[in-house]
Chain A
Amino acid sequence: MAFLEINKINIDYVTEDGVVEAVNDIDLSLKEGESLGLVGETGAGKTTLAKCIMRILPERTARINSGEIFYKGTDLLKLEPEKMREIRGSEIAMIFQDPMTALNPVLTVGEQIAEAVQNHQKVDDAEAMKKAEEMLELVGIPAARSSEYPHQFSGGMRQRVVIAIALACNPKLLIADEPTTALDVTIQAQVLEMIQKLRTQMKSSLILITHDLGLVAQNCESVAVIYAGEIVEYGTVHDIFKDMKHPYTVGLFTSIPKINEDVKRLTPIPGNTPDPVHLPKGCKFCTRCAYATEKCQNEHPELYQSSEGHFVRCFLKGQGGEKYGKQ
């Protein structure tokens, strides 16, 4: 039994302009203690997938069409709301992208951490506040500041508070949604180091959502590259970094400027992400792919196994490999 197993998840957003297919047939699995990187551009569906695992997608617009998410053997999508509420924060916790907006402006940071504690443990206010102060110290903020409000903290400090909230109940699975995007580079390193340290202490698994390949290399064991709502390449960090197959993954790597070369211009991937309301019929990357053939435009490629544990969704690169699947 896998620790976390996501099977063929499909999520749409119903908007005024039409139906946006945000997540298409995503399969993923995660072992206990493992860390997985989800890499992709803005709008690829990474956050949607994360919110789907937490079951905090906006009810009005988001629609989970099919799929299962097994956490320790139970399908989270079939759980009663109250059971799911118990899991949120205590078993699975999430660190949000923007620390400037992720904290409630009218509650003290202490109150916000203490609330996470009291949601899952029967402790009185004083005890919860004591635990909140411990958490603050753990993320490097003096306990005395627990009675201050979010606006009295800097961005990096706020992100520490967000992390303290997420870790307050020792979650077994931590989903970090671009935890450092809104921070400047020096703070980024500190925050990630802290997440890593705390994660090892608490033996949690990690799903790290990012568009920064460097972060993935430092923090994850396996990587899923997501494009337009589907996984285009999946493998260990070693597979992806040393033997990348999919043209999109290659594009992601070549768009990073190299420090040891004299780069005058960045090398972006040509074109834009396709309009999510009108996705291409065949391979979703074919409009931007230098190698696209007629077949790519008309047929949708499966996820092929190119080598042991390394999968790629491409006719050209995955050819000859076995189809991915758990059936």
Chain B
Amino acid sequence: MWKYILKRFAMLIPVMMGTILVVFFIMDQSNVDPAKIMLGDAATAENIAHLHKQLGLDDPFFVRYFRYLGNLLHGDLGISYTYKTSVAGQIASRLPNTAILAGSGVFLTVIIGIPLGVISAKHQFSIFDNVSTVFTLFGAAAPAFWVGLVLVMVFSQHLHLFPASGMGRGTVGLLKSLILPAITLSLSGTANVARTTRSSMLEVIRADYIDTARAKGTDERTITLRHMLRNALIPVTTVVGLNFGVLLGGSVLTETVFAWPGIGRYVIESIKSQDIPSVLGCVVVLSILFTVVNLFVDILYAYIDPRIKAQYKSAGGSK
């Protein structure tokens, strides 16, 4: 098992190198001259040329790429053009905010989506099931920025229950400001998780081992939670894991709508101000997060399904 996890961590290296290569290449093609941005409109051609030399901007593409990777190993993501401070520092100050938002998003997705799917499957074609189906279709179809705006209109403009934007201070303030963005962010994920849970529960509900469990006198609650849900949870775990990636991407939109001081908004700001090191840094950090979450999900499988654990063991032991 540990061998497998180590192997997967080793796999992170080529994946990250590839991701950075792609982003680095796109940024290189953008025709933005960082020196001009840093020096402003008043810069002379001489000053610009001097800065080019200083930053190594005229070096070949791969030299700059590997220099970036080398710096990355030391945790150095470069200097932000706009803030004139280290990108790593900028990200570090915003990452917790994004983590809070994405974390609450995942939390809502799981605690609403899974029970919704379970109850729908247990009472297939009931009124509850139909209402939940409508809700999940709506949730999956409604775009996040629109939902965000509607929520702001209703709950902060009219009802004055929650702040329209920003991040509140103190526990109560934070929670109040967190609710609307978290709902916006998690809506489509909740819908996906509910639908996946429902369909995988429906598959399990008619399994022979459910008859066995019933025949030995197990009560309905234990049958649902211990026998059905645990077996139905494997595809759901996949969706929650993938959904985390969607949440990170969605946080860009949601953070912009709600002026949430996280990485998502930082990316947008940096793109607008053509702050290449910041954009690169954000993409790198987000990709690492996404890959690590996926690895975590894969490890989680092993704890849900012993058959997968056996596979991991043999995969890890083969070398």
Contacts and interface: CB of A to CB of B under 8 A. Distances in A.
B231 interface: yes
Contacts of B213: 104, 115
Contact of B216 (A101, A105, A108, A166): A166
B230 A88 contact: no
B160 interface: no
A56 B216 contact: no
A172 B213 CA distance: 18
Contacts of A166: 215-216
Given A96-B208, A101-B208, A149-B307, A120 B215 contact: no
Nearest to B124: A60
A116 B306 contact: no
Contacts of B226: 107, 115
A104 B214 CA distance: 12
A127 interface: no
Contacts of A196: none
Contacts of B216: 88-89, 93, 115-116, 119, 165-166, 168
Given A103-B212, A105-B305, A105-B307, A88 B231 contact: no
Interface string A74-98: 0000000000011111100110101
A162 interface: yes
A322 to B, nearest CB: 38
B230 A56 contact: no
A197 to B, nearest CB: 21
B84 interface: no
A268 interface: no
B305 A96 contact: no
Contact of B306 (A60, A86, A105): A105
Interface in A131-171: 149, 151-152, 162, 165-166, 168-169
A106 B304 contact: yes
Contacts of B222: 115
A166 B213 CA distance: 10
Given A93-B216, A119-B217, A120-B217, A104 B231 contact: yes
Most interface-central of B207, B209, B219, B222 (chain A CB within 10 A): B209
Contacts of A51: 211
Interface string B98-127: 000000000000000000000000001000
Contacts of A106: 230-231, 304-306
Contacts of A52: none
A101 B217 contact: no
A224 interface: no
Contacts of B305: 105-106
Nearest to B212: A102
Contacts, number: 85
A73 interface: no
Contacts of A87: 217
A257 interface: no
A56 B220 CA distance: 12
A146 B216 CA distance: 18
Contacts of B310: 151-152
B307 A104 contact: no
B206 interface: yes
A105 B208 CA distance: 11
A191 interface: no
Interface residues of B, number: 24
Given A105-B231, A105-B306, A162-B212, A58 B217 contact: no
Nearest to B305: A106
Given A102-B208, A103-B209, A104-B227, A88 B215 contact: yes
Interface string A41-79: 000000000010010101010000000000000000000
Nearest to B217: A89
Contact of A88 (B124, B206, B217): B217
Contacts of B231: 104-106
A108 B207 CA distance: 17
B47 interface: no
Contacts of A105: 209, 231, 305-307
Interface in B247-261: none
B217 A94 contact: no
A101 B217 CA distance: 18
B306 A151 contact: yes
Contact of B217 (A112, A116, A162): A116
Contacts of A112: 212
B218 A115 contact: yes
Nearest to A50: B215
Nearest to B207: A101
A195 to B, nearest CB: 16
A60 B207 CA distance: 15
Most interface-central of B124, B213, B219, B304 (chain A CB within 10 A): B213
13 contacts: A56-B214, A87-B217, A90-B217, A93-B215, A98-B208, A104-B212, A106-B230, A106-B304, A107-B227, A116-B216, A120-B217, A149-B307, A162-B212
Interface of A: 51, 54, 56, 58, 60, 85-90, 93-94, 96, 98, 101-108, 112, 115-116, 119-120, 149, 151-152, 162, 165-166, 168-169
Interface of B: 124, 206-209, 211-219, 222, 226-227, 230-231, 304-307, 310
Given A56-B214, A102-B211, A115-B218, 19 more contacts: A54-B215, A88-B214, A88-B215, A89-B217, A96-B211, A104-B209, A105-B231, A105-B306, A106-B230, A106-B231, A107-B226, A112-B212, A115-B222, A115-B226, A116-B216, A119-B218, A151-B307, A165-B212, A165-B216
Going nearest first, the 7 A-B pairs with the smallest beta carbon separation are: A89-B217, A89-B216, A116-B216, A101-B208, A119-B217, A88-B217, A149-B306
